[in-house]
A = this chain, B = another copy of it.
Amino acid sequence: MRLSDTIEAFIKEMMGEEQSEVEIKRNELAEFFHCAPSQINYVLSTRFTPDHGYVTSSQRGGGGYIRIVQVRRSAQDQLSYLLNERIGTAIDAQSAQILCRQLAQSGVLSLEDARLMAAAVSPPAFSVPVPEQAKNALRAKVMRAMLLAVAQREEA
C-alpha cells in the first residue's frame, strides 16, 4: 500500500463518521509517517479537494495547523451543483472519475451506479484520435445526461 493511501486512510479515520472536521499539524503528521512534510500537501491536493468533498484551510506560524472540513450536501444540492456549476461545457477524465466516486461516497449513487458512470466517462470510453478538448466537451455532455437521469430518479 502506498504511503499516500495510508495517510489518506489515517486522516479519514481521524474524521470518523459523525465528525466532519479535523485539524492536523503538518510537521507532526509527517514526523509520524517518516516522510517529507510536503507529502502531506500531496495527499491533501490529490485526495481532499472540493471535488472529493472536502475543503481545507490552514494557519502558519507558531501554533499553526491544517483544518480539513468535509462538505455535506443533500443529493439534490449535489446534483444541481454538478450540473449547474462544476461540469460546465467540458471536463477532463480524471476529474470526472473523482466526481463519480464522490457521488458514491456521499450516498447519492450506489457504488455500482458510480462505477457505471465512471466507466462511461473513462479514458477507454473516449479512446479516439481527437484533441483532448473535444473529448472533454463530449464527456461533459455524457456526464450531464446521466446526472439528469439520476435527478429524475430522485424526483419520483
Residues of A at the B interface (CB closer than 8 Å) are: 1-2, 5, 62-63, 112-113, 115-120, 122, 124-128, 134, 137-138, 141-142, 144-146, 148-150, 152-153
- CB of A118 within 8 A of CB of B63, answer no
Contacts beyond the supplied A115-B149, A119-B148: 19 A-B pairs with Cβ under 8 Å: A2-B62, A2-B63, A5-B63, A112-B113, A112-B153, A113-B113, A115-B152, A116-B149, A118-B149, A119-B146, A120-B142, A120-B145, A125-B141, A125-B144, A125-B145, A128-B134, A128-B138, A138-B138, A142-B142
- CB of B119 within 8 A of CB of A145, answer yes
Contacts of A117 in B (CB 8 A): 116, 120
Report A36 CB to chain B, min CB distance, Å: 14
Contacts of A122 in B (CB 8 A): 145
If A112-B153, A115-B153 touch, does A120 touch B146 (CB 8 Å cutoff)?
Answer: yes
Report A124 CB to chain B, min CB distance, Å: 5
- CB of A145 within 8 A of CB of B124, answer yes
Q: Which 3 A-B pairs have the closest CB atoms?
A: A119-B149, A2-B63, A125-B145
